[in-house]
Amino acid sequence: MEATSAAGGFKVHAETVTVQTEQRVELVDLTERIMSYARATGIREGLGHIWSMHTTCAVFINEAQHALHADIKSFLEQMVARDAEWLHNDPDHSDCDRFNADSHLRAMLLGHHLTLQVTSGEIVLGQWQRILIAELDGPRARTLRVQVMGI
Amino acid sequence: MEATSAAGGFKVHAETVTVQTEQRVELVDLTERIMSYARATGIREGLGHIWSMHTTCAVFINEAQHALHADIKSFLEQMVARDAEWLHNDPDHSDCDRFNADSHLRAMLLGHHLTLQVTSGEIVLGQWQRILIAELDGPRARTLRVQVMGI
Amino acid sequence: MEATSAAGGFKVHAETVTVQTEQRVELVDLTERIMSYARATGIREGLGHIWSMHTTCAVFINEAQHALHADIKSFLEQMVARDAEWLHNDPDHSDCDRFNADSHLRAMLLGHHLTLQVTSGEIVLGQWQRILIAELDGPRARTLRVQVMGI
């Protein structure tokens, strides 16, 4: 799905991005895909927006480093134990059979969206900043919506 | 309060939404109210924005399920103990008599705002995603600002 | 760096803001600087956006109170121990010599950006809400990008 609308020089472009994850908990670097898309819209000044279409898949900023990504996974495990007695995982209280309360709580901490500035036709990111998604209940096919608006 | 402004097809609509909460910690599903408002603006492509006017009331995304909402409340209690020795609750250090350091810290984790895409006149949400507010120091009358901008 | 672009009444202004921090972990209130900048753009209705250019410097909302800021620092220390055995701090796994895994994880919890409404030429904030940055690996010279778009 792709959409483009314009009025008086103001434009909105939007696109669906899909990601196939391979593990239950996995970080994927989407920076290049998002930056390429933003560039292709031709919008010079405005905002970009990335939305995860899932409750258990987060979008956030951090450095792309193998050791740090291992730390992020450890940290999420420390913060939200998978095997705690969550009601969402209890058949007496929930009809969800994915046993994924931890995924919901971890995604809530990281957040489901990013808003980014576009300046001179480029997404604004610092030297070490990368646009990451956190798969928290995979492996799955995940869908994100990316929008760029401006002039 | 309601505001509408337009230039060259670009429009900005904004409105105040009020919610009366009933408990100290409570999750309220605002999805239908926000979606109806966005639809009524007539904006087809753009961004929606929801802002909590309070430090101790958060706005975030999760599934609407009774068991999961109970888990979210338990999780917030585990993360931020109400009765820890917070300086904000100590009359020697603070003039706040609400004893609500936990509310401030919990809201900080969940966040005070959401930015959402509008496509084909509808707010973009995944199948299980709901727009929730977390009352963290109620019961109170809470105010949110909702804005939709675009074309 | 400053940029201004316009089309059909729609405008985008952006500016770089720098902050020199003094401590390793420090909260700085940027509310007045951001509000003054937004006012100066002359944009009446739209969105403001604040972006930290750093992985280890967060932007978030809370009250400006000395006691509460001490609580926020304690809370971050409780949530993410500086001296845990993070791989990012281990020379066998990482070439980062700043020993700052905690800074990365704490910033991830608070977030790197804020999107704010502009109405009647003013940033929309509740009575107790302040725009704060969290220096999490200082002291350093920090850079933020501030953008206001609208009409």
8 Å CB contact of C3 and A116:
no
Chain A residues inside the 8 Å CB shell of C16: none
Global ipTM: 0.95
Look at residue B96 in the predicted model and tell me its pLDDT.
Answer: 83
pTM: predicted TM-score of the whole model, two decimal places: 0.96
Q: Sorting pLDDT into bands at 50, 70 and 90, what band is A1?
A: very low
Touching check for C77 and chain B: CB below 8 Å?
no
H/E element, B47: strand B46-52
CA distance A87 to A70: 28
Search chain A and give the residue with CA nearest C144. Answer: A126
Q: Does residue A118 have a pLDDT over 50?
A: yes
Look at residue A6 in the predicted model and tell me its pLDDT.
Answer: 75
* Cβ-proximal residues to C77 (8 Å cutoff; 6+ apart), any chain: none
Q: State the smallest CA–CA distance between residue C130 and chain A in angstroms.
A: 20
Q: Which of A97-101, A124-128, B141-145 comes out lowest in average pLDDT? A: A97-101
Those residues of chain C that have pLDDT short of 70 are 1-3
Look at residue C3 in the predicted model and tell me its pLDDT.
Answer: 62
Q: Of A14, A86, A111, which has the smallest distance from its Cβ to B71's Cβ?
A: A86
Q: What is the pLDDT along chain B (151 residues), one digit of tens a residue?
A: 466 777 778 999 999 999 999 999 999 999 999 999 999 999 999 999 999 999 999 999 999 999 999 999 999 999 999 999 999 999 999 988 889 999 999 999 999 999 999 999 999 999 999 999 999 999 999 999 999 999 9
Report the percent of chain A where pLDDT is more than 70.
98
Touching check for C99 and chain A: CB below 8 Å?
no
Report the percent of chain A where pLDDT is more than 90.
91
Q: Residue B2, by phi and psi: left (phi above 0), alpha (psi -120 to 50) or beta?
A: beta
Chain A residues inside the 8 Å CB shell of C88: 65, 67-68, 71
CA distance A80 to B111: 18
Per the prediction, chain C carries an average pLDDT of 95
Look at residue C8 in the predicted model and tell me its pLDDT.
Answer: 75
Touching check for A61 and chain B: CB below 8 Å?
no
Averaged pLDDT, A14-39: 98
Look at residue A148 in the predicted model and tell me its pLDDT.
Answer: 97
Chain B residues inside the 8 Å CB shell of A14: 45, 117, 119
Look at residue C2 in the predicted model and tell me its pLDDT.
Answer: 61
Burial of A93 (0-12, 13-18, 19+ CB in 10 A): middle
